[in-house]
Chain A
Amino acid sequence: MERPLTRNIHPGSLPLDIDGYERAGGYQSLRKALKSMSPEAVMKEVTDAKLRGRGGAGFPTGQKWSFVPRGKDAAGQKYLVVNGDEMEPGTFKDRLLLEGDPHQMIEAVIVSAYAIGASIAYLFIRAEYVFAAERIARAIGEAEARGYLGRNILGSGFDLDVHVHKSAGRYICGEETALLTALEGQRALPRSKPPFPQASGLWGRPTVVNNVETLCNVPHIIERGAAWFRGLSLGPDGGTKIYGASGRLKRPGAWELPMGTPLRELVEEHAGGMREGYRLRGLLPGGASTAFLGPEQLDVAMDFSSVEKAGSRLGTGTLIVLDDRTCPIGMLRNLEHFFAQESCGWCTPCRDGLPWTERILAAIEAGEGREEDLDVLAMHTRFLGPGKTFCAHAPGAMAPLESGLKQFRGDFEHHIRSKSCPWSQ
C-alpha cells in the first residue's frame, strides 16, 4: 500500500533536511512542472486526479484553481495561501505533515503557485504549531539557498516568495476568508461571498486558499500522474487520506490510508478497538463540527459522499470517539463551549445563540435542566443551520448537537427528569 504523503515521516525522528528530501526523490515534481509543463497542464493534472480539499469541505481542488482569472487581462499580483490553521478539535493531520516533512510542503507550494500564477505564497500556521512554523521556516531558507524559491526558479522565469505567518490564534482563521482578513492584520472576520477569494482575496487580489494536506498531494500527482493518484483510492475521490482517531481507543493516532477506507477498519484495526471496559457509543467522523455516527454505522466508507449519505461529513477525517463512560451531554457542552468561545462575534445567531446552547447544556449537566430546554436546543439546531448564519462556523457547531439530540435523547431526558448527571455520581 502506497502512502505518498507520509513516506518520509518516521515517528520519533527529525524531518528530512533538503539533502535528505532530495535523496528520497524530492523536488523532482518541481523540476518536472517548471521545466516541462505549462501552468495549465499542472492544473489539468490536478483536476483529472480528482483531488478534493482535505480541510473539511471537500471542494475539488482543480476547479477551485480554475476560478483564478488568467491570461492577459488578469495581470497583477496573485496569491497562494496555505491554510495551516488546524484548530478543529480532535484534528492533528496537518501538524503531522508540517512537522514531519516540511520540504514536501514547500515543493507543493511551489508547484501549486506555479499552476495558478501566484508569485507570493503565505503559510498561515496555527499559533500553537511552534515546531511546524520553525521547521517550515528552516525549509524555506534551504529551498531559497538552492534556488527553488526566489527569482527565475530553475530558469523557468517563474518567481515565488514564500512567507510564514503565525496565527494569533482563533478558530475562525481556519475559515478561508477570515484567514485572509487576519493575514491582512485585521479582525479575523469572515467575508461575504461572492466575491470569492479567487476574484478578490488577499488585499483584494486573486487568491487561492488550500489546506496543508490538500496541497501536499500535488507534487505526487504531478510526478506520478492523475491516473496513479485516482488508483490510490477505494472510492470515487482520488488519493490517500490521513485519518486519525482520538478517544478511549487502544491506539489513538493518525494513519495514511486509501481514501474510502471503511470506518470499522479505522476503529478496530488501526486504532486497535476500544480500551478494555469501554464501549463505543458514537463518534464524530471528521472533527468537532461533524455529526455523530452511531456504532451501527461503522461500515460506512470514509469518503466524502459515503459519509454524507450516512448523515454526517468526512470533514478532516479524524475521529473523536465517545465511549459509554463519558456523558454525551458533557461532551456536547464541552464542544459548544469551544464553538461559543470561538465565534468571531459578527453575526447574531452564532454570537448569541451558541453561548445559549452552551449554558443550557451546562444547566442540564448540573441537574438544572428543564423540559423546554430541549425545544430551545432544537430551535438552535434549525436556525443556526447552513445559509442562516454568515459563515459555516455555527452550522458546524450545530452538527454534533443536532445529531446528539437524536442519538442521546434518552440521556437528555434522564438528566432533566432526575435532575442530575448519571456519570458524575
Chain B
Amino acid sequence: MATMHVDGSEYQVAATDNVLHACLSHGLDIPYFCWHPALGSVGACRQCAVKEFRNAEDRSGHLVMACMTPATDGIRISIDDPEAVAFRRSVIEWLMTNHPHDCPVCPEGGECHLQDMTLMTGHIYRRYRFTKRTFRNQHLGPFVAHEMNRCIACYRCVRFYRDYAGGRDLDAYAAHNHVYFGRAQDGVLENPFSGNLVEVCPTGVFTDKTLGEVYTRKWDLKGAPSVCVHCGLGCNTTPNARQGDVRRVLNRYNGEVNGYFLCDRGRFGHGFLNSERRIRRSLTATGGVASPVTRSAALSRLSELLCEQDAIGIGSPRASLEANFALRRLVGAERFYSGLGSREERLLSTILATLREGHAATASLREAEDCDAVLVLGEDVAETAPRLALSLRQAVRQAGMATAERLHVPRWQDAAVREAARDVLSPLALATPAPTRLDDVASFAYRAAPADIARLGFAIAHAIDATAPKVADLAEPVQRLAARIATALTAARRPLVVSGAGAGSEAVIGAAGNVADALCRTGRTARIVLTVPECNSLGLALMRAQPLSAALTALRDGRARTVVVLENDLYRRADAATVDAALGAAVHVIALDHVRNDTVQQAELVLAAGTFAEASGTLVSNEGRAQRYFQLLFPEDDIVASWKWLNAAAVACGRSAPWRSLDDAIAALAKEMPALAAIGAAAPGTGFRVDGNRIASEPHRYSGRTALHADRSVFEPKPPPHDDGPYTNSMEGYYGTMPAALYPYIWAPAWNSVQALNKFQAEVGGAMAGGDAGVRLLGSRLASRGYARDVPPPFAPREHEWLIVPQYELFGSEELSALAPAILERSGQVRIALNAQDAATLAVADGETVAVALTPAAVHAKVSIHPALPHGVAALSTGARGFAATALPAFAGLSRVGNVEAVS
C-alpha cells in the first residue's frame, strides 16, 4: 500500500495503481475519456490532468496526467489546483471545437460521458467561432450506428475493437483533427463484440442501432438486473424497457463474470421478445385450430388435465430452476424428465461429474483472463461461449505482461505494455475439427475429428503425469504436439483447460478432465472451464432428472397419456420421427413456452410463458454460479412465469402449497434439492428493503407517467406490484448503493453514463461494493476423480460417408437469439466445409451444393472448401435454421446436387 495526498487529505492506495484509478476508487471525481478500467491508460485525451507537487514545500507543482502517473508512496497531488482546473476546462473546450452540439437529437444524450465531463469541468461558453469539420458516416451493419461528427478522438473504440477484442476492420484513419474512426469502407463490423463500442464510446459516435429503431432516453427506461439466456456462461445484463417493450440490453458489470463486455449475441439477441413467433396469449387447439383462452380458463384446463395421475413433465435447460422445479413438483419427481437429448444428457453429466469430482477448480471468466497457458479441447468457444473467447484473448497477453513487468512498465500502461509485449503470446492450444475465430492468437492449432482430439488430450495428460492412461498407436506428429502442449502447460503458473459439450464427445471432456487433473496431481494449480449449451444446462443437470428418451418411450408405449413440455422444442433434442411418434401417441400435449415452435404446434393447450423479461428466476451458469434475474415487464396480456402456471396447477391438484412469491419457490426448491440449497444467496429476497423502502425500478427522471396512458385514462395507473423482487415498478423508492445482484440501472449524481459504475465498485475495475452477484454452487470439490480411461480408437474415415460435425455459429445456432431481426441479418446460409481432397472425391466445387443425408431428412448445404479440415470430416453449419445439433456428430453420406441455391 502507498499513501497518496490529494488536496490535503491522505488516502491509502495500491502503489501498483495509477493516480486516476486510485482517485476514482476513493470516490474522487476526475474527468477522463481515453482511460477505461479494462483498457488501461494511454495518455491521449489529457482530460485527467492534476497537479503534482514534489514535496510538502513545493507550492508551484506541475501538471501531470493522473492516468499516466503511478500512485507512488507519498505522492502529493491536487485536483482542485486552479491551473489544473483551468487546463481540464480547456481540454473540453478543445474537444468541443468540432463537436456538433446535437445533444437534443443525439441518442447518447442523457447518458453521455462527454456531457457529464463537460459539466464536471465547468466549460460553458463556446469561444471557438470557426467552422467545424464534417465527416461522412458509414453503414456498419445491423447492430451499431455511426455518427463520426460527434467524435472527440479518444481512441477508445479502436483500442477496444482491435487491441482488446482482436478485430481488424475498424481503424483510425487520417491525422490531426481529421482523424477518422471507421472501416476502410462501409460494411458490417465483423468482430463479434462490436456492440460494446456503444458503451465504450464516451459520446454518440457508436450507438445501438436496434435501440435507435424504438428510441427512448435512458432516463425514460426502466431496468431490471438480468442474466443472458443466449449461452451457458451467464453474463449479467440489464434489459431496459419502455411501454411494455424491451428496447435494449446493456452490459451489467460482474467483476467475476463478464466484467464490462458482452458479445453481440447477448446484446442484440433480445429481439426475439418481439418476434412474430412470440406467444402472448394462451391457446387451446381443437381439430388443428388454435384459439386464445383467458388466463383463468387456461389454468382450469391445465389443472383439469394434470390432476390425472399419469401426466409426465419434460423440463428444459433454457427454463429457470424454479420453472423446472415447479414442473417436477407438479408431476412428481419420478415422472419428471430433463428434456435433454440422450447425447446432451450424457455430456452434461460427464461435465458435472468432472466439475464436482475433478481436482481442478472451475475458473470464472475473470480468472480465465489471468491464466498464462490455455488448452482448448474440442470446443469452438468463439461460437458457443463467445464471452469466454474474449477472456482467452486477454489470457494470451500474460506472457507480454511479464515482458513489460521485466521492463518495469506497469500493467495499466496499455500502449507501452503492448509495445514491449509485441507478438509475445502465452501458449494457447486449440484442438477443434474446423478453424475458429481464435486461431489468430493460437500457438498450436490442431484440426481433427473429435476422437482424435480426445486422443490428443489423453496424450497430453499422459505426458504430464505418467500414471494417466497412455494412448496406444499415436501418430508421431501428434505425439510431439502433445509433448509440446504438455510442456507449455506445466511451465505455466496458472494453466487452464477448456472444453465442453460442443464437440459432442464424452471422450473429449474426459480427456480435458485428465489434463486438468494431471496438472493438479503433479502439483500445479490448474483450472478448468467446461462450457454448456444453454443458459440453465448446468442447473438442470444438478436437478438429476431422467432423460428425454425415457419420456418419449413412455408416451409412445402408452405408459403416460398426458405430457407437459416446459419451454422446450423437442424437435431440437431428438429426431423428428421419434418426437412425432411420442407426441402422436400422447392423449394430451401441454406446452408452456414464449415462442411458437414445432413442439408448441403439437400441443392442445399452450400456456404463454414469461421470458427473462416477464418472469423472475434463477439460472446456473457453466461454472456452477447461480444467478437471479428479475421481472422487468408486467404485461397486461396473459404472459405468466412458467413456475407460476405450474405452481397454480399443483395447488389446484393439491400437490403443493401456494408460492406467494419467488422466495417461496426458492425455499421449497432448496429444501428438496440439497445440491441447489444455496441458490437463495444468489440475490436478496423479495423482502429486501433499504430504510424500509423497495428499490425504484425507474430512474427518478422517468417522464410521461400519465401521458403514456392518456389515450385510455388521464389518471396515473397504479404500478403493478413486484411480487418476485424488492422493486417498486416505478420511479419511487430507494436508489443508491445496494447488493450487486439488485441494480436495476446504473446512475450516480453527475454520472449519467455507464461510467457511473465507478461509484458502485469496491475498486474501479474490481468487485462490486459488497461483492459481485451470484453464488457458486460447486464450491467444494471432491477431488476424487480417477483418470478417465476410455481412450477412443483413432478416427477412421469412411469410404462413402463423412463424419458430420456441427459448426456452431455465433449468430444463428442459438434458438432464441436467432429470432431477433438484427441477429437474423447476420446469420449465414446452410453451409458445409470440406477439405479439397474430399471435395474432389465428391466432384463438387466451392459454392456448389451437396445433399447431406442426415436422418430423417436430408439437408442441402453450400460447400466451402477448407484445407484445414481433416479428411473424412465435414463441418455443417445451418445458419438461423437451427438443427438438432445434439444429433451430431454423425456419419452421413454426401452427394453433389450442383449449382443450386442452398436452403436457407
Kindly state whether residue A191 has any CB partner on chain B within 8 Å: yes
Kindly state whether residue A187 has any CB partner on chain B within 8 Å: yes
B161 to chain A: closest CB distance in Å? 15
A185 to chain B: closest CB distance in Å? 13
B64 to chain A: closest CB distance in Å? 7
Residue of A170, A352, A383, A389 touching B177 (CB-CB under 8 A):
A352
User: What is the total number of residues of chain B having a CB less than 8 Å from a CB of chain A?
Assistant: 44
Please give me the residue from chain A that is nearest to B99 by CB atom.
A352
Docked-complex contact B407 and A352, CB < 8 angstroms: no
Kindly state whether residue B135 has any CB partner on chain A within 8 Å: no
Given contacts A170-B175, A191-B415, contact A348 B47 (CB under 8 A): yes
A330-359 at interface with B (beta carbon < 8 Å): 340-349, 351-356, 359
Please give me the residue from chain B that is nearest to A342 by CB atom.
B176
User: In whole angstroms, what is the CA distance A84 to B445 when docked?
Assistant: 43
A 309-330 binary contact with B (CB < 8 Å = 1; else 0): 0000000000000000000000
Kindly state whether residue A387 has any CB partner on chain B within 8 Å: yes
User: In whole angstroms, what is the CA distance A379 to B44 when docked?
Assistant: 20
Please give me the residue from chain B that is nearest to A193 by CB atom.
B416
Docked-complex contact B44 and A343, CB < 8 angstroms: no
Q: Which of A117-125, A199-207, A253-261, A408-416 touches B?
A: A199-207
Residue of B42, B45, B416 touching A348 (CB-CB under 8 A):
B45
Given contacts A200-B409, A355-B177, A356-B94, contact A348 B63 (CB under 8 A): no
Kindly state whether residue B56 has any CB partner on chain A within 8 Å: no
A 352-379 binary contact with B (CB < 8 Å = 1; else 0): 1111100100010000000010001001
Which residues of A sit under 8 angstroms from B155, Cβ to Cβ?
346
User: In whole angstroms, what is the CA distance A200 to B413 when docked?
Assistant: 13
Which residues of A sit under 8 angstroms from B421, Cβ to Cβ?
204
B51 to chain A: closest CB distance in Å? 11
Which residues of A sit under 8 angstroms from B124, Cβ to Cβ?
none
Docked-complex contact A192 and B42, CB < 8 angstroms: yes
Docked-complex contact B90 and A390, CB < 8 angstroms: no
User: In whole angstroms, what is the CA distance A389 to B174 when docked?
Assistant: 20
Which residues of A sit under 8 angstroms from B128, Cβ to Cβ?
356
User: In whole angstroms, what is the CA distance A359 to B176 when docked?
Assistant: 14
User: In whole angstroms, what is the CA distance A99 to B694 when docked?
Assistant: 80
Kindly state whether residue A157 has any CB partner on chain B within 8 Å: no
Kindly state whether residue A195 has any CB partner on chain B within 8 Å: yes
Kindly state whether residue A388 has any CB partner on chain B within 8 Å: yes
Kindly state whether residue A25 has any CB partner on chain B within 8 Å: no
Docked-complex contact B46 and A352, CB < 8 angstroms: no
Kindly state whether residue B202 has any CB partner on chain A within 8 Å: no
Please give me the residue from chain B that is nearest to A385 by CB atom.
B63
Residue of A170, A195, A203, A351 touching B422 (CB-CB under 8 A):
A203
Kindly state whether residue B403 has any CB partner on chain A within 8 Å: yes
Given contacts A379-B90, A383-B87, contact A389 B175 (CB under 8 A): no
A353 to chain B: closest CB distance in Å? 5
User: In whole angstroms, what is the CA distance A341 to B133 when docked?
Assistant: 13
Which residues of B sit under 8 angstroms from A192, Cβ to Cβ?
42-43, 68, 413, 415-416
Residue of B47, B175, B407 touching A199 (CB-CB under 8 A):
B407
Given contacts A195-B409, A200-B409, A351-B153, contact A345 B94 (CB under 8 A): no
Docked-complex contact A348 and B94, CB < 8 angstroms: yes
Kindly state whether residue B675 has any CB partner on chain A within 8 Å: no
User: What is the total number of residues of chain A having a CB less than 8 Å from a CB of chain B?
Assistant: 36
A205 to chain B: closest CB distance in Å? 9
User: In whole angstroms, what is the CA distance A355 to B130 when docked?
Assistant: 10
Residue of B127, B174, B407 touching A376 (CB-CB under 8 A):
B127
Which residues of A sit under 8 angstroms from B420, Cβ to Cβ?
195, 200, 204
Kindly state whether residue A155 has any CB partner on chain B within 8 Å: no
Kindly state whether residue A12 has any CB partner on chain B within 8 Å: no
Kindly state whether residue B14 has any CB partner on chain A within 8 Å: no
Docked-complex contact A191 and B416, CB < 8 angstroms: yes
Docked-complex contact A359 and B94, CB < 8 angstroms: no
B446 to chain A: closest CB distance in Å? 29
Kindly state whether residue A194 has any CB partner on chain B within 8 Å: yes
A169 to chain B: closest CB distance in Å? 11
Docked-complex contact A346 and B422, CB < 8 angstroms: no
Kindly state whether residue B62 has any CB partner on chain A within 8 Å: yes
Which residues of B sit under 8 angstroms from A353, Cβ to Cβ?
90, 94
User: In whole angstroms, what is the CA distance A353 to B94 when docked?
Assistant: 6
Which residues of A sit under 8 angstroms from B177, Cβ to Cβ?
340, 343, 345, 351-352, 355
Which residues of A sit under 8 angstroms from B68, Cβ to Cβ?
192
User: In whole angstroms, what is the CA distance A191 to B174 when docked?
Assistant: 18
Docked-complex contact B95 and A388, CB < 8 angstroms: no
Docked-complex contact B91 and A349, CB < 8 angstroms: yes
Docked-complex contact B127 and A372, CB < 8 angstroms: yes
B746-787 at interface with A (beta carbon < 8 Å): none
Which residues of A sit under 8 angstroms from B87, Cβ to Cβ?
383, 388
Which residues of B sit under 8 angstroms from A356, Cβ to Cβ?
94, 97, 128, 130
Which residues of B sit under 8 angstroms from A347, Cβ to Cβ?
43-46
Please give me the residue from chain B that is nearest to A203 by CB atom.
B422
User: In whole angstroms, what is the CA distance A223 to B63 when docked?
Assistant: 46
Given contacts A199-B407, A356-B97, A390-B44, contact A344 B419 (CB under 8 A): no
Which residues of A sit under 8 angstroms from B408, Cβ to Cβ?
194-195
User: In whole angstroms, what is the CA distance A340 to B419 when docked?
Assistant: 27
User: In whole angstroms, what is the CA distance A359 to B68 when docked?
Assistant: 31
Which residues of B sit under 8 angstroms from A346, Cβ to Cβ?
44, 155
Docked-complex contact A345 and B409, CB < 8 angstroms: no
Docked-complex contact B98 and A352, CB < 8 angstroms: yes
User: In whole angstroms, what is the CA distance A250 to B177 when docked?
Assistant: 39
Docked-complex contact A345 and B175, CB < 8 angstroms: yes
User: In whole angstroms, what is the CA distance A50 to B42 when docked?
Assistant: 35
A323 to chain B: closest CB distance in Å? 30
User: In whole angstroms, what is the CA distance A376 to B42 when docked?
Assistant: 28
Docked-complex contact A389 and B46, CB < 8 angstroms: yes
Given contacts A343-B176, A356-B128, A359-B130, contact A191 B97 (CB under 8 A): no
Docked-complex contact B407 and A345, CB < 8 angstroms: no
Docked-complex contact A194 and B409, CB < 8 angstroms: yes
Residue among A347, A352, A387, A390 with the most chain B CB within 10 A? A352
Residue of A203, A204, A344, A387 touching B175 (CB-CB under 8 A):
A344
Please give me the residue from chain A that is nearest to B421 by CB atom.
A204
Docked-complex contact B175 and A348, CB < 8 angstroms: no
User: In whole angstroms, what is the CA distance A356 to B128 when docked?
Assistant: 7
A197 to chain B: closest CB distance in Å? 10
B 149-192 binary contact with A (CB < 8 Å = 1; else 0): 00011010000000000000000101111110000000000000
Kindly state whether residue B49 has any CB partner on chain A within 8 Å: yes
Please give me the residue from chain B that is nearest to A346 by CB atom.
B44
User: In whole angstroms, what is the CA distance A356 to B413 when docked?
Assistant: 30
Please give me the residue from chain A that is nearest to B133 by CB atom.
A355
A185-223 at interface with B (beta carbon < 8 Å): 187, 191-192, 194-195, 199-200, 203-204
User: In whole angstroms, what is the CA distance A191 to B68 when docked?
Assistant: 12
Residue among A347, A387, A389 with the most chain B CB within 10 A? A347
User: In whole angstroms, what is the CA distance A369 to B874 when docked?
Assistant: 73
Docked-complex contact A204 and B419, CB < 8 angstroms: yes
Residue of A194, A345, A348 touching B91 (CB-CB under 8 A):
A348
Docked-complex contact A348 and B95, CB < 8 angstroms: yes
B616 to chain A: closest CB distance in Å? 46
Given contacts A192-B42, A383-B90, A390-B44, contact A351 B409 (CB under 8 A): no
User: In whole angstroms, what is the CA distance A194 to B420 when docked?
Assistant: 11
Please give me the residue from chain B that is nearest to A376 by CB atom.
B127
User: In whole angstroms, what is the CA distance A320 to B179 when docked?
Assistant: 31
Q: 6 tightest CB-CB pairs across the interface, nearest first?
A: A345-B179, A352-B94, A204-B422, A343-B176, A200-B420, A359-B130
| 16 residue pairs from A and B, CB less than 8 Å apart | A170-B175, A187-B172, A194-B416, A195-B416, A340-B176, A343-B176, A345-B178, A348-B45, A349-B90, A351-B153, A352-B177, A372-B127, A376-B127, A379-B90, A388-B63, A388-B87
Query: B interface vs A, CB < 8 Å?
Result: 42-47, 49, 62-64, 68, 86-87, 90-91, 94-95, 97-98, 127-128, 130, 152-153, 155, 172, 174-179, 403, 407-409, 413, 415-416, 419-422, 424
